[in-house]
Amino acid sequence: MSTAPTFDRTRVVIEHVRPQIDGGRFPIKRTAGEPVGVEADVFADGHSLLAGVLRYRRTSGASPSAWEEVALRFLDNDRWTAQFTPQEAGDYEYTLEAWIDAFGSWRAGVAKWLEADQVSEGELLEGARLIAAAAERATAQHASADARWLSDQAAALAAPGALNARAQLGLADGLREMMSRYPDRSNAARYDRVLEVLVDRERARFGTWYEMFPRSNSPEPGRSATFREAESRLPAIAALGFDVLYLPPVHPIGKTARKGPNNSETSGPDDPGSPWAIGSPEGGHKAIEPGLGTLGDFDRFVEVARREGLEIALDIAFQCSPDHPYVVEHPEWFRSRPDGSIKYAENPPKKYQDIFPLDFDTPDWQALWLELRSVVLFWIDHGVRIFRVDNPHTKPFRFWEWLIRTVRAQCPEAIFLAEAFTRPKVMKHLAKLGFTQSYTYFTWRNQKVELEEYFTELTTTEMREYFRPNLFANTPDILHEYLQRGGRAAFQVRTVLAATLGATYGIYSGFELCENKAVAPGSEEYLDSEKYQYLRRNWDAPGHINDLIRRVNAIRRDEPALQYDTTLSFARTDNPQLLAYTKTLDGRGVLVIVNLDPRNVQHGWVTVPVAELALDGGRPYELEDLLDGTRYTWQGDRAYVRFNPAERVAHVLKPVTQ
């Protein structure tokens, strides 16, 4: 007894599709207006020609849009490509379809027979049949004019007459174009996965962040500034060229186990405590710390910032002080010890007695998830679209995937930054799950080989498809030894690196004043950190680097190549203290050369990537240092540079002809 075949009759194979993350389990990322280039191996048995399309559509919204198609283009060695450009933020999907190009194969064969002067009647009749079938497909698609035209071509090809002349009719470009509109896709092969693209607004790809504690802007010592008083700081931050203002938690701060200055376990009556110890009788994650004002004052602060060109990013820290209303209302959301007390947060040897972690293993997990999502949606209703998420790696991955997807479904403009200084695979997985941006190891990469290796990974491997780095030069928790010991020049070096290596970077307030005192030797914590006390600053103190920050931020706005991460390419130098790289886009870009040694004069030779910069190395060319306007005339692909950190730490060079 024989068994009939059950496979379909498709002959085309589609495999090795790129980009895709983990076999299509996770989406790639783009911003609106940023192309999605797709490649795949497409082949079949025999020698027939192939054709195919890249299919894509927007899936977010009330219902998916209709599929759109872009023809695949042959590269080489059975590799094909096409691209599409999503124009709006939202969710998209794409896949590939390919088929035997019967008419194209016939046409190629006829061209060879014609060249050999051996065209046959049967060959022409076969072509006429293919054209007539296309006419029927045009009729089915209600393209009657095209159908009539194709029928006429089929008749002309089949009509008696000179074989070579009729063959020429079948090779006409107009016929080829018309036939491509109505291919026979009855046995087309479709890639067995539909792949996703998360498309965000431009701020997800390019932005300049400034972290500020509003309470530290009081005109009087010893008390919190209100939001209205903190408004006075906004014009100066905007004037430095920042466009995102990140606020630590602004919620009521608990009093139980409140931390004192320098994270001491005892606090005085006037110590404000850590903003990350969220919750008091005045409210929790949906309330405002009374010292800052009211929710109305926050709304006004958001609007005043917007008028200054600043978008507010708000800290989301899903943890509670012992005084948080959740502790009384939902004790089941916390992990208890055998004696019934709630376990506070620990990261041995560190203890956080002022913080209770939430228990995501609670049997009431669904209610907990819904409540935490409502926190995000609450602040979206108050004008916040950017969230810096505190320690997401200490909460379940599935929770974040669900929260981000469901929030984006309601607010495609939402941006989530993962503050996860943890193991590489965990950081990558969080990005795959949907976090828009990610903190990085940039703070701890200070040597040339470290920087080249790390940023090569970020920009040339699969990470470029889903991991958007946000290069914070410092944070309230991280004052690297490089800054502690390198003096003012170290802050200048890290400014240039962060601002030009990454499309998104940020600084924590005080960086511009070169604050570099640690609480103890070997610690990365600041002395007298404003995490635990009010801090008043003289923003015009001698030694500030405001002019440099203002200038590099202006350069970033003017140079499109600096607004992408993947435009980066490193150049060779003969000195391990000199780092050189280009960022180019559409034939326009800059060459950055940085002295990584903040204490000593360094000099050496740089291999200038003249081709990337569209320069003619065979004749003199002129470059302008965008940092100060100095112009240099070089020739060839090698140039000598010298840096005295007391005078200059870097060049940001642009060809004068661009």
CA distance 312 to 246: 6
Q: Which residues are catalytic?
A: 390, 419
pLDDT in tens, 479-508: 999 999 999 999 999 999 999 999 999 999
Domain containing residue 82: CATH number: 2.60.40.10
For residue 6, what pLDDT is reported? Answer: 54
Kindly state the average pLDDT of the residues 468-473: 98
Q: How far is CA 72 from CA 65, 97, 202, in A?
A: 21, 9, 28
CATH classification of the domain holding 581 = 2.60.40.1180
In a domain, 263, yes or no: yes
- State mean pLDDT over 182-188: 95
469 and 613 inside one domain: no
User: 400 and 508: one domain?
Assistant: yes
Per-residue pLDDT reduced to its tens digit, 47-105: 999 999 999 999 998 889 999 999 999 999 999 999 999 999 999 999 999 999 999 99
480 part of a folded domain: yes
614 and 469 in a common domain: no
Asked whether residue 6 is domain-assigned, the answer is no
Domain boundary among 152, 176, 199: 199
Do 213 and 277 fall within a single domain? yes
- Pick from 251, 252, 274: nearest CA to 261: 274
Task: Say how many C-beta atoms besides its own lie within 10 A of residue 169's C-beta.
Answer: 17
* pLDDT, averaged across the chain: 96
The C-alpha atoms of residue 570 and residue 456 are separated, in whole angstroms, by 8
Confidence of residue 391 (pLDDT cuts 50, 70, 90): very high
Q: Burial level of 600, CB count in 10 A (0-12/13-18/19+)? A: exposed
Indicate whether 171 and 83 sit together in one domain.
yes
Residues 33 and 61 in one domain: yes
Cα angle for residues 199, 202, 207 (degrees, 5° grid): 130
pLDDT at 266: 93
Instruction: Please provide the DSSP assignment of 595-623 as one string.
Output: E--SSS-EEEEEE--TTTTT--TTS-EEE
Q: Compute the distance between CA of residue 115 and CA of residue 460 in angstroms, rounded to an integer.
A: 46
Residue 211 resides in a domain: yes
Q: What is the pLDDT of residues 128-177, one digit of tens each?
A: 999 999 999 999 999 999 999 999 999 999 999 999 999 999 999 999 99
Residue closest to 495 by CA, chosen among 510, 473, 476: 473
Are residues 103 and 215 located together in one domain of the fold? Answer: no
Per the structure, the count of domains in the chain is 3
CA dihedral 558, 560, 562, 564 (to 10 degrees): 150
Domain annotation covers residue 93: yes
Dist CA 254 CA 197 (whole Å): 41
Same domain, yes or no, for 494 and 520? yes
Task: Report the CATH number at residue 484.
Answer: 3.20.20.80
Confirm whether 5 is domain-assigned: no
Q: Quick check: 650 pLDDT over 90?
A: yes
Last residue of a domain, one of 184, 199, 214: 199
Range of the domain at 418: 202-316+370-559
132 and 167 assigned to the same domain: yes
CA–CA dist 350, 337 (Å, integer): 19
Residues 280 and 295 in one domain: yes
Asked if the model's pLDDT at residue 3 lies above 80, the reply is no
Question: CB-side exposure of 491: number of CA atoms within 13 Å?
Answer: 22
For 342, phi and psi rounded to 5 degrees?
Answer: -90, 140
Is the peptide bond between 86 and the residue preceding it cis, with omega within 30 degrees of 0? Answer: no
CA angle 203, 206, 209 (to 5 degrees): 80
Q: How many CB atoms lie within 10 A of CB 381?
A: 10
Looking at the chain, the number of H-run helices and the number of E-run strands are 15, 30
Residues 573 and 590 in one domain: yes
**Domain for residue 94, yes or no?**
yes
In this structure, are 227 and 273 located in the same domain? yes
pLDDT at residue number 1: 52
Q: Of the candidates 154, 179, 199, which is a domain's last residue?
A: 199
- Flag whether 397 is in a domain: yes
SS3 state at 656 = coil
